[in-house]
Amino acid sequence: MKALIAYGTRYGATTGTSEEIAKILREEGFDIKIVNLKEEKIKDISEYDLIIVGSSMGNCRYASEAEDFLKNFRKEFEGKKLALFVSTMITFFEREGKIDDVTKTRKISLEDRVAKYNLKPIALGFFGGVIDYNKMGFIARKGMEIFKPQLEKDGFKVAEGIYDLRNWDEIRNWAKELSRKAGQ
Ligand SMILES: Cc1cc2nc3c(=O)[nH]c(=O)nc-3n(C[C@H](O)[C@H](O)[C@H](O)COP(=O)(O)O)c2cc1C
């Protein structure tokens, strides 16, 4: 089966997640192309059996290039297997017991996209991303500063100013399950 992973990223976590999903799917026998939608425009998806769309979440917004991709190809997705995933703060909210934030993030990140474009995905992945204070501009850093003490306490720190919220086992299991569903 041929699969396309097309993603939008601001700070780069979605690139790493896309590459890990690609690695798993290749092990399962898929022929994979990965595209960062900011670097490459996709004109045609007819050759692919499975399309995976990834996006970062920033200030409650889906990445605009991933949104455009969903909008432009929504008709072509019919008759193909489609899966969507997002890089978010969900794993942090879960650890903090902030269930309302988990529910809200699920809704605004993917459930609203599915409804808006009338999509029929076979899988939705709500993953953690990376909070990297070194990469943020002044205003973003100010806005995200309030989370720093809890991120520290929750053990997400991987280097100075960098907090990795990704649960790799969850991401790998999602990719394995997706491979099974797509093969059906
Ligand atoms: C300024 C800023 C705003 C963010 N806003 C949200 C948000 O509204 N919801 C969320 O779940 N995560 C939010 N995040 C966390 C991102 O989802 C996380 O950093 C993710 O890794 C971004 O994906 P990317 O690294 O591929 O750009 C925000 C991060 C930054 C730096």
Q: Do residues 86 and 125 lie in contact, with contact meaning Cβ atoms separated by under 8 Å?
A: yes
Residues in CB range of 75: below 8 A, 6 or more apart = none
Helix (H, G, I), strand (E, B) or coil at 12: coil
Residues with CB under 6 A from ligand 1: 9-14, 56-60, 87-89, 105, 129-131, 136, 140, 143-144
**Within its chain, how far is the Cα of 8 from the centroid?**
8
Question: Are 148 and 72 spatial neighbours (Cβ–Cβ below 8 Å)?
Answer: no
State in Å: Cα 145 to ligand 1 middle. Answer: 13
User: For the chain, first and last CA: distance in Å?
Assistant: 11
Q: Kindly give the distance from the C-alpha atom of residue 61 to the centroid of ligand 1, in angstroms, as a whole number.
A: 9
Please give the average per-residue pLDDT across 20-34, as a whole number: 97
Report the separation in Å between the CA atom of 85 and the middle of ligand 1, taken as the mean of its atom positions: 14
Domain 2-129+166-182 CATH superfamily: Flavodoxin domain (3.40.50.360)
3-state secondary structure of 134: coil
**pLDDT for the residue 183:** 85
DSSP letters spanning 27-89: HTT-EEEEEETTT------TT-SEEEEEEEEETTEE-HHHHHHHHHHTTTTTTSEEEEEEEES
Report the nearest atom of ligand 1 relative to the CA of 8: 26
For 127-168, write each residue's pLDDT tens digit. Answer: 999 999 999 999 999 999 999 999 999 999 999 999 999 999
Out of 17, 65, 88, 156, give the residue to mutate to test ligand 1, the one with the largest number of ligand atoms within 8 Å of its CB.
88
Contact between 166 and 17 (Cβ < 8 Å): yes
Tell me how far apart the alpha carbons of residues 106 and 124 are, in angstroms, rounded to a whole number: 10
Distance separating alpha carbons of residues 166 and 59, to the nearest angstrom: 19
Q: What is the pTM of this model?
A: 0.97
Q: Over the stretch 59-117, which tens digit does the pLDDT of each residue have?
A: 999 999 999 999 999 999 998 999 999 999 999 999 999 999 999 999 999 999 999 99
Structural domain boundaries of the chain? 2-129+166-182, 130-164
Determine the average pLDDT of the residues in 173-178.
98
Res 184 pLDDT > 80: no
Q: State in Å: Cα 29 to ligand 1 middle.
A: 32
State how far the alpha carbon of 135 is from the alpha carbons of 8, 13, 45, 130, 131, in Å. 17, 12, 33, 11, 9
